[in-house]
Amino acid sequence: MSNSPRKAFTLIEALAALAVVAIALLALIRLSLTNIRIADRSTAATQAALLAQEKMDLILAQGFPEPAAASGTLDRDNRSWQWQICVSNFALPHAHQNDYAPLRRVDVNIRWNEGSDDRNFKLTTYVTNRM
Protein backbone atom coordinates (compact mmCIF):
# COMPACT_ATOMS: atom_id res chain seq x y z
CA MET A 1 0.00 0.00 0.00
CA SER A 2 1.10 3.49 -0.75
CA ASN A 3 0.84 6.37 1.66
CA SER A 4 -0.38 8.94 -0.87
CA PRO A 5 -2.73 11.60 0.50
CA ARG A 6 -6.40 10.99 -0.17
CA LYS A 7 -8.36 13.53 -2.13
CA ALA A 8 -11.63 13.88 -0.22
CA PHE A 9 -13.59 16.42 1.79
CA THR A 10 -12.86 16.69 5.44
CA LEU A 11 -15.67 16.86 7.96
CA ILE A 12 -15.05 20.58 8.54
CA GLU A 13 -15.27 21.34 4.82
CA ALA A 14 -18.52 19.39 4.55
CA LEU A 15 -20.03 21.24 7.54
CA ALA A 16 -18.95 24.61 6.11
CA ALA A 17 -20.56 23.78 2.77
CA LEU A 18 -23.72 22.62 4.55
CA ALA A 19 -23.85 25.88 6.54
CA VAL A 20 -23.56 27.95 3.34
CA VAL A 21 -26.36 25.96 1.70
CA ALA A 22 -28.57 26.32 4.82
CA ILE A 23 -28.06 30.10 4.90
CA ALA A 24 -28.90 30.35 1.20
CA LEU A 25 -32.05 28.25 1.65
CA LEU A 26 -33.19 30.38 4.58
CA ALA A 27 -32.75 33.51 2.47
CA LEU A 28 -34.80 31.96 -0.34
CA ILE A 29 -37.57 30.93 2.07
CA ARG A 30 -37.70 34.44 3.52
CA LEU A 31 -37.86 35.91 0.02
CA SER A 32 -40.74 33.57 -0.85
CA LEU A 33 -42.65 34.59 2.28
CA THR A 34 -42.13 38.26 1.42
CA ASN A 35 -43.44 37.62 -2.10
CA ILE A 36 -46.52 35.87 -0.72
CA ARG A 37 -47.21 38.77 1.66
CA ILE A 38 -46.85 41.33 -1.16
CA ALA A 39 -49.14 39.28 -3.43
CA ASP A 40 -51.75 39.07 -0.65
CA ARG A 41 -51.64 42.84 -0.12
CA SER A 42 -51.96 43.42 -3.85
CA THR A 43 -54.94 41.06 -4.04
CA ALA A 44 -56.63 42.82 -1.11
CA ALA A 45 -56.07 46.26 -2.67
CA THR A 46 -57.51 45.04 -5.97
CA GLN A 47 -60.54 43.55 -4.21
CA ALA A 48 -61.06 46.84 -2.33
CA ALA A 49 -60.94 48.79 -5.60
CA LEU A 50 -63.47 46.45 -7.20
CA LEU A 51 -65.78 46.67 -4.18
CA ALA A 52 -65.54 50.47 -4.20
CA GLN A 53 -66.37 50.52 -7.91
CA GLU A 54 -69.32 48.19 -7.30
CA LYS A 55 -70.71 50.50 -4.60
CA MET A 56 -70.08 53.56 -6.79
CA ASP A 57 -71.95 51.95 -9.69
CA LEU A 58 -74.95 51.29 -7.43
CA ILE A 59 -75.07 54.97 -6.44
CA LEU A 60 -74.57 56.28 -9.97
CA ALA A 61 -77.29 53.98 -11.31
CA GLN A 62 -79.78 56.13 -9.37
CA GLY A 63 -79.06 59.10 -11.62
CA PHE A 64 -78.60 62.24 -9.55
CA PRO A 65 -78.31 60.87 -5.98
CA GLU A 66 -79.71 62.72 -2.99
CA PRO A 67 -77.29 63.75 -0.24
CA ALA A 68 -77.04 60.86 2.19
CA ALA A 69 -74.65 58.57 4.02
CA ALA A 70 -74.62 54.80 4.37
CA SER A 71 -72.26 52.20 5.74
CA GLY A 72 -72.02 48.48 6.24
CA THR A 73 -69.86 45.40 6.47
CA LEU A 74 -69.36 42.76 3.83
CA ASP A 75 -67.65 39.39 4.33
CA ARG A 76 -66.07 38.25 1.11
CA ASP A 77 -63.00 36.17 0.25
CA ASN A 78 -62.16 35.42 3.89
CA ARG A 79 -61.98 39.12 4.73
CA SER A 80 -64.27 41.57 6.43
CA TRP A 81 -64.71 44.77 4.44
CA GLN A 82 -66.23 47.90 5.98
CA TRP A 83 -67.68 50.35 3.46
CA GLN A 84 -68.97 53.89 3.76
CA ILE A 85 -70.76 55.95 1.16
CA CYS A 86 -71.24 59.69 1.49
CA VAL A 87 -73.15 61.79 -1.05
CA SER A 88 -72.89 65.52 -0.41
CA ASN A 89 -73.65 68.78 -2.20
CA PHE A 90 -70.60 70.35 -3.78
CA ALA A 91 -70.10 74.00 -4.65
CA LEU A 92 -67.32 75.23 -6.88
CA PRO A 93 -65.20 77.83 -5.13
CA HIS A 94 -65.58 81.43 -6.39
CA ALA A 95 -68.59 80.57 -8.55
CA HIS A 96 -72.18 81.69 -8.30
CA GLN A 97 -74.76 78.97 -7.87
CA ASN A 98 -76.62 80.03 -11.01
CA ASP A 99 -73.49 79.70 -13.19
CA TYR A 100 -73.43 75.90 -13.21
CA ALA A 101 -75.62 72.84 -12.77
CA PRO A 102 -75.82 71.47 -9.23
CA LEU A 103 -73.02 69.08 -8.31
CA ARG A 104 -72.88 66.23 -5.86
CA ARG A 105 -69.72 64.66 -4.51
CA VAL A 106 -69.84 60.87 -4.04
CA ASP A 107 -67.22 59.29 -1.76
CA VAL A 108 -66.88 55.53 -1.31
CA ASN A 109 -64.48 54.41 1.39
CA ILE A 110 -63.43 50.77 1.88
CA ARG A 111 -61.55 49.62 4.99
CA TRP A 112 -60.08 46.26 5.91
CA ASN A 113 -57.53 44.79 8.29
CA GLU A 114 -54.27 43.26 7.17
CA GLY A 115 -52.69 41.68 10.21
CA SER A 116 -52.23 44.53 12.67
CA ASP A 117 -52.53 47.21 9.95
CA ASP A 118 -55.71 48.99 8.91
CA ARG A 119 -55.92 49.60 5.17
CA ASN A 120 -58.11 52.09 3.34
CA PHE A 121 -59.20 52.66 -0.27
CA LYS A 122 -61.16 55.76 -1.26
CA LEU A 123 -62.98 56.44 -4.52
CA THR A 124 -64.46 59.86 -5.26
CA THR A 125 -66.47 61.20 -8.19
CA TYR A 126 -68.68 64.19 -8.94
CA VAL A 127 -72.16 63.99 -10.46
CA THR A 128 -74.22 66.70 -12.05
CA ASN A 129 -77.95 66.90 -12.66
CA ARG A 130 -78.37 67.08 -16.42
CA MET A 131 -82.02 68.16 -16.10
For the stretch 60-75, pLDDT in tens is 998 889 999 999 999 9
Question: What pLDDT was estimated at residue 84?
Answer: 97
Higher-pLDDT residue of 127, 5: 127
Contacts of 43 (CB under 8 A, 6+ apart): none
| Strand ranges in 13-116 using DSSP code E only, listed in sequence order | 68-76, 79-90, 103-114
Give me the chain's average pLDDT, please. Answer: 88
Answering whether pTM is above 0.75, one says no
Question: What pLDDT was estimated at residue 86?
Answer: 97
Question: Is the pLDDT assigned to residue 3 strictly greater than 80?
Answer: no
Asked if 111 and 82 count as a contact pair (C-beta separation under 8 A), the reply is yes
Asked if 44 and 79 count as a contact pair (C-beta separation under 8 A), the reply is yes
Share of the chain above pLDDT 70, in %: 89
How many other C-beta atoms lie within 10 A of the C-beta of residue 87?
20
Please give the single-letter amino acid code of residue 43. Answer: T
CATH 3.40.50.300: does it fit domain 11-128? no
Instruction: Express each pLDDT in 10-57 by its tens digit.
Output: 889 889 999 999 999 999 999 999 999 999 999 999 999 999 999 999
Question: Is the pLDDT assigned to residue 98 strictly greater than 90?
Answer: no
